[in-house]
Structure 1
């Protein structure tokens, strides 16, 4: 039995990693916050040794993008200081680290998908804190894979798909941003990709390290993504609100968003033979899982 430590086990991605059918027998250990202080490198190292974990997947993060603008210390603690401590523990225990990051480390100014080597230039506090976490992970534990992803969605918690399905029951008309471009990522598919990276790094000390991008195949905008979600909901008897396409400038938020969040996943496919399925193919299952799990009409 191979033991893999997952941090952030109660989040969207952590939950997907815990329920994943791994390709070989794996025990996932995912300590809760009150069980392990992730900011304490010695404590994390001790946990790794005690459990016999052979890799760490860090899915813990502060993800409140707008709130981070006024909670900078909290964002940098969770997204930079904690990854540094986890990386120190992984190096001490001599286990590989897979650290999850974000498309928001980029400013969105390019007219093409971002490659792993493109210049990092975040335009909000959340992105800056995640960029700092990337640097810490790579500098402290050279045997690490930083995996950037984008527009993560799952049946769990609050994300774009669950929010749209809820709002469909609450409002007859919605204004959706149409000039931000990206690749939605299904959490279950990302979890499978991370598992593949982790197991390869466990088995092969020479497995590729550095920065990778992982996102579901297919580009879209928030507006078109919302339309696709409502179309799937309608097939299950859900309401379809009227949609108004608006520009980012028409929907001001505390944190600026990049207009281009498209990530090129070429390196992940080249080095690990991994590509995520198209989000449009996986959307019916996702919407069905959300609607089957709980009513979204306030009942």
Structure 2
């Protein structure tokens, strides 16, 4: 059971996605499945990649986030940050345009009042039209920040992004960037934490959040969190380590300052492994050994409340 003194008045999940195939292109899933296929083939296990992709996409039918909200309630999660990456410039098999995805995420906000904050992504190569769409998301849709996906082929320090950062500074909203490896159909090199160093220095009023604590670059991520006042990280993606020996998560929690870390699950990536309540409990089993109560509350709720709700 969760300790009320630790989680009250509720946990914030700072890294979720709508579990909907309407927002995730098939080619993205195909790239993720390819590594599973290679592993099975090496072990001599027969595998049909197309069927694995079909199965993964069939599981992405929670278009309105109803199941996510049910699991949030079960886990004691007060509200979650819903992230919308823009794959549409790089991957051309998306069901919806990025404009249509913005509208759908506004509908999710309306469907579940108070349960989500949306950070919406726009590929900077869409130019002025993309910037106008992002601003419309802030002004008209109630979105609360920018979600960037550098593996689509751009870096965080690309000057095309600077007008977006200026908007974030004007609206006092954060930027969350995917860091580390992803689908094998995308680029890994741009998703390194060092790319955030220059924009974090040039835009001191903008808070930058490194998703997944940069995965394979945890030490560099922890360094930036410690020495750049406006760089943070979320712990999403560390569930598997927490559910086994927990060494990777423990190292992260010991390396990065607690006031710079945010709890997150990366729903729906691990939905077949465990329910959200189990992921939270697994995290707490490791975190309680490293963080005292006040510092744990920072990670579970208070840091996210400051960044996304200004309190």
Structure 1 and Structure 2 fold alike (TM over 0.5): no
TM-score, normalised to structure 1's length? 0.34
- Structure showing the higher strand proportion among its residues: 1
TM-score, normalised to structure 2's length? 0.33
